[in-house]
Chain A
Amino acid sequence: MAKAEENVYTLASLREHLIRQEDTIIYGLIERAKFPSNSNTYDDKYAQIPGFSGSLVEFVVKNAEDVQAKAGRYTNPKEHPFFPENLPPSNVPSYPFSQFLHPGPASININKSIWKMYFQDLLPLLATSGDDGNYAQTAAADLSLLQAISSRIHYGKFVAEVKFRDAPQDYEPLIRAKDREGVMKLLTFTDVEETVRKRVEKKATVFGQEVSLDSDNDGNGKRKFDPTVASRLYKNWMIPLTKEIEVEYLLRRLD
């Protein structure tokens, strides 16, 4: 992570960070896959928590974010809450995180879309059907994974800023013309995207395997989760949503 004084983000350093985040996300997928779908966690008719209307996962995430906010998490421009309304302010001395992003679009937060994608699209692919009663732990695993996914996607703002600074003359006319398609085309590198998808699948296979001392058994089909879920997550949602953020950010870059 760059220190406050280092306002030096480059495309290479950002890509390195994104590569490290792949591991975090895959560990998060594996740890969530440890639990079955435990659908009661997501059912607000099941929870019936006094004084709270919503599901157990909403209860856990909202309250956890309150604690994390007081602990200063969201003063870091790389962190985004899922429930920003009425979030308490930080209770700790402020840390001089670098002000690298352009102020207006710096506040872009698409967590509502990420939340929907996570529960409607990803979870059905990831978790096997079933119930083991461990709803609180399931919600905690969801929160970790949601945060990792959100962090990766919103990193698009930093990527966009670096791309803009590297070639403002290319982006400015497209931004002024509000040419979304043009901007999207300019920031898309399909060969890089394919490399990412392949690497994620390889990592998911490696990290998701059952490792035993009997080396004949390694990668012998026994695994903790389906590695194609990780590459689908990246291909269908992570990469497109990251680029969407890049476009949204750039369209407001000259405001």
Chain B
Amino acid sequence: MLRFLVSVLVLASCKEVQKMAKAQYTVDSARACLVRQEDTIIFALIERAKFPLNSPTYNHTFTSISQIQGSLLHFFIRNTEAIQSKAGRYTNPEEIPFFPENLPPSVAPYYPSSEFLHSAGALININKDIWKLYFHVLLPMFVASGDDGNYAQTAAADLTLLQAISRRIHYGRFVAEAKFRETPQIFESLIRAKDRKALMKVLTLESIEKMVVKRVEKKAMVFGHEVSLEHVKEGTYKVDPSVVSLLYQKWLIPLTKNVELEYLLRRLD
């Protein structure tokens, strides 16, 4: 009877452990999460493409007469991240802010976050590079030129998409940790030798990468086509599916691997 009660107690507290932001990541669970994130990213691309470029959103001179410092986008993202930070968003190590300087601490009740990542690598933040990529390369690729005056909604759509992209790329830390834990012997000597080339080779699984690129293109077609009751409107998509596959092939996958690499290089610190 006592053993039964003890096992019930253990089960109950195991549920509590699970509640702590998925303390156990595996390579498989991390990959499953990345697959689900594809949908989030594609929805966010589609929703940003709803608006034209709306360049005053990004233009410092547009806001120069007001109390707003920097562009409308800077204002929007800095202030929105501050609210999210107070609400506890960045206590989850999966979330990385674009403006970490002077971010207010969480005022929400303490929630135990996962202690899965190695502390040195957990701090990796390449959002400045992602920001540059987003505005200089990605945005012009899939957004129509024009202005509809909806600058605040445009900034909101940018933030949602930036967060989704950032989250995907920085998830590389969890992927790297899971890979390390599965086969530490493969990684340790390469890390000690600081052999970037060899590490990158171990991290690269071309067949999986090819599948990812194909799958996101298919998803972009499925989620982005006009669904009507009569017929399928072939060929019209809310976002060009080849832009989505290019985004993954040229930037998301390589940048995620860069994060994996940087994480591993610090893993034995």
Residue numbers of A with Cβ under 8 A of B are: 1, 3-4, 20, 23-24, 27, 30-31, 34, 40, 46-50, 56, 59-60, 63-64, 67-68, 70-73, 76, 79, 91-93, 95-97, 131-137, 139-140, 144, 195, 198-199, 202-203, 206-207, 209, 211-213, 224
Contact = CB atoms under 8 A, between A and B. Distances in A.
Contacts of B2: none
Contacts of A70: 68, 75
B219 interface: yes
A134 B223 contact: no
6 contacts: A63-B83, A68-B76, A71-B72, A136-B84, A144-B160, A211-B219
Contacts of A140: 84, 89
A67 B80 contact: yes
A199 B229 contact: yes
B80 A202 contact: no
Interface in B80-137: 80, 83-84, 86-89, 92, 95, 107-109, 111-113
B150 interface: yes
A24 B50 contact: yes
Contacts of A139: 87
Contacts of B39: 30, 211, 224
B152 A48 contact: no
B153 interface: yes
B68 A92 contact: yes
A72 B152 CA distance: 6
B20 interface: yes
B209 to A, nearest CB: 13
Given A60-B84, A199-B228, 5 more contacts: A47-B109, A48-B109, A71-B72, A72-B151, A95-B151
A195 B228 CA distance: 10
Interface stretch (B59-67, B174-182, B189-197, B244-252): B59-67
B66 to A, nearest CB: 4
Given A50-B107, A133-B111, A211-B218, A30 B43 contact: yes
B203 interface: no
Nearest to B214: A213
A23 B46 contact: yes
Interface string B48-64: 00110000000000110
A68 to B, nearest CB: 5
Contact of B152 (A31, A50, A73): A73
A93 B111 CA distance: 41
Nearest to A98: B149
A207 B223 contact: yes
Interface of B: 19-22, 36, 39-40, 43, 46-47, 50-51, 62-63, 65-68, 72, 75-76, 79-80, 83-84, 86-89, 92, 95, 107-109, 111-113, 148-153, 155-156, 160, 211, 214-215, 218-219, 222-223, 227-229, 238
B19 A133 contact: yes
Contact of A92 (B40, B66, B108, B218): B66
B11 to A, nearest CB: 16
B70 to A, nearest CB: 12
Contacts of A213: 211, 214-215, 218
A97 B151 CA distance: 12
A95 B149 CA distance: 6
Nearest to A151: B153
Contacts of B40: 31, 34
B108 A47 contact: yes
A213 B223 CA distance: 14
Contacts of A34: 36, 40
A137 B151 contact: no
B89 A133 contact: no
Nearest to B43: A27
Nearest to B219: A211
A207 to B, nearest CB: 5
Contacts of B108: 47, 49, 56, 135-136
A1 B113 contact: no
Contact of B43 (A3, A31, A133): A31
Nearest to B218: A211
